[in-house]
Amino acid sequence: MSVESKVKDIIADQLEVAVDKLSKETTFEDIDADSLDIVELVMALEEEFDLEISDQEIENINSVGDVVKYIESKV
Amino acid sequence: MMIMDLTGKTALVTGASRGIGRATTLSLARAGAAVVINYSSNEAAAEAVKKEIEGFGGSALVVRADVSDYSQCENLIKSAVDHFKRIDILVNNAGITRDNLLARMKTEEWQEVIDTNLNGVYNCCRAILRPLLKQKSGGRIINVASVAGIHGNSGQANYAASKGGVIAFSKTLAKELGSRDITVNAVAPGFIETEMTDVLSDEMKEQVLSRIALGRLGKPQEVAEVILFLASSAGYITGQVISVDGNLSM
């Protein structure tokens, strides 16, 4: 499974949105994610990909594409 | 209708071997919760609580941890989740006193009380968040504060500051976690018959009694009942401080 589809699955699961509603351009604002949603998503990503995402890095993640790009740079 | 059935839930109580913690642990277990009995020094007392719970068919796990140490709190939560496969209720009860007038207070007396009473609450709450949020089934956090944290109490600047901090912390956490159906409340016991108040002189006790409307000290069980309520049927109460003090005027 590609990083992109894995990331989409996790986002869909965490934020309770349909996976086919997600594109790389989808922002977290588009899917009404609040700050705690983002924290939960980060926790899930950290577990799935076995990495630690800093607060600073979280600030730069605004869209599904941002997450994919970030994960791809780390794994 | 009051439903205080905690069957299928797991509860963790810090400082569970004695006093209010012990009474709370037994009450939660009687309501059907699997309980984690945390203690820091009195292993025999903790094991006795476990034995009593197993005596009426409940399940319990004893885990030693000093709540002032974050990594020990992480291990404590991990042991709980590993053993019972879930965690639903956290009662931050562990607390100490190092009473002294501020003019005589040593930095260590200040620090030890803040480390256990306030940092301990932060440590356990911080460590439980990941498993609690991951479960996505809500949760209950009850922090044991004190009337000293509301009114202040001469000779307890350290204790009162730690408990006042616990109250403000609880109110904040209630706001942060409300959307996840995790309630956070504080109880503020007054003078309760425990080892903590046993050390008071007779003269001091007389003086205290004259200020309590109910004219007596409280029993640990009377605090435990309120904690049990907050841990079970009180689904629409969060961010509150409930005084259990017989109407004490300080």
Task: For chain A, count helices (H), then strands (E).
Answer: 4, 0
CA distance A69 to A51: 14
Instruction: Select from B183, B184, B246 the least CA-distant residue to B212.
Output: B246
Contact B180 A34 (CB under 8 A): no
pLDDT digits (tens, 9 = 90+) for B136-164: 999 999 999 999 999 999 999 999 999 99
ipTM above 0.85, yes or no: no
The shortest CB-CB distance from A43 to any of B133, B176, B180 is to B133
Instruction: Select from B67, B208, B215 the least CA-distant residue to B147.
Output: B208
pLDDT digits (tens, 9 = 90+) for A9-68: 999 999 999 999 999 999 999 999 998 999 999 999 999 999 999 989 998 899 999 999
List chain B residues with CB under 8 Å of A43: 130, 133-134
- Work out how many domains chain A is built from and give that number: 1
Disruptive mutation site among A35, A38, A40 for chain B (greatest number of B CBs within 10 Å):
A40
Distance from CA of A46 to the nearest CA of B (A): 11
List chain A residues with CB under 8 Å of B133: 36, 39-40, 43
Amino acid at A39: V
Please indicate whether residue B159 is annotated as part of the active site: yes
Q: Domain containing A49 — which CATH number?
A: 1.10.1200.10
The shortest CB-CB distance from B130 to any of A34, A36, A43 is to A43
Tokens of B209: 């009694």
Taking any CB pair shorter than 8 Å as contact, residues of chain A touching chain B are 34, 36, 39-40, 43-44
Instruction: Select from B239, B240, B242, B230 the least CA-distant residue to B188.
Output: B242
Q: Which pTM was predicted?
A: 0.93
Neighbours of A4 (CB within 10 A): 17
A37: domain range?
3-74
